Amino acid sequence: MGSYEQARMEDRMTTNQNPFQRDHSGCISSVVSAAERIECVKSFTYQQCMDAAKLNGLQETVIAAIQRRIRALSKEKNHA
């Protein structure tokens, strides 16, 4: 595997672990503003929330939104 292919594989791994990053046909973009991240969190799955919670440098409001989403998803699961 060449260095380009290795770099692309590493990009995909990072993207999978950071739900605020998106792969658009090989071009990685990141959501960085608190408002945009909070909007993203509203549609996250439980696993995406857990991945996001592990990230360093998140804004406090984003952390609070992740925690709210986890609680909401847990309630939905318990009532299903």
- Residue 8: φ, ψ to 5°: -65, -40
pTM score, two decimals?
Answer: 0.73
3-state secondary structure of 33: coil
Query: What are the extents of the domains in the chain?
Result: 3-79
Measured CA to CA, the distance from residue 42 to residue 61 in angstroms comes to 13
CA atoms within 13 A on the CB side of 6: 3
CA distances from 76 to 7, 41, 50 (A): 38, 16, 16
pLDDT above 70 coverage of the chain, percent: 79
Percent of the chain with pLDDT over 90: 59
Q: Which residue has the higher pLDDT, 8 or 62?
A: 62
- The mean pLDDT value of the chain amounts to 83
How many residues in total does the chain contain? 80
**Contact of 39 with 49, CB cutoff 8 Å:** no
Average pLDDT over residues 74-78: 89
Q: pLDDT tens-digit profile of 17-30?
A: 899 998 878 888 88
Amino acid 43: pLDDT: 95
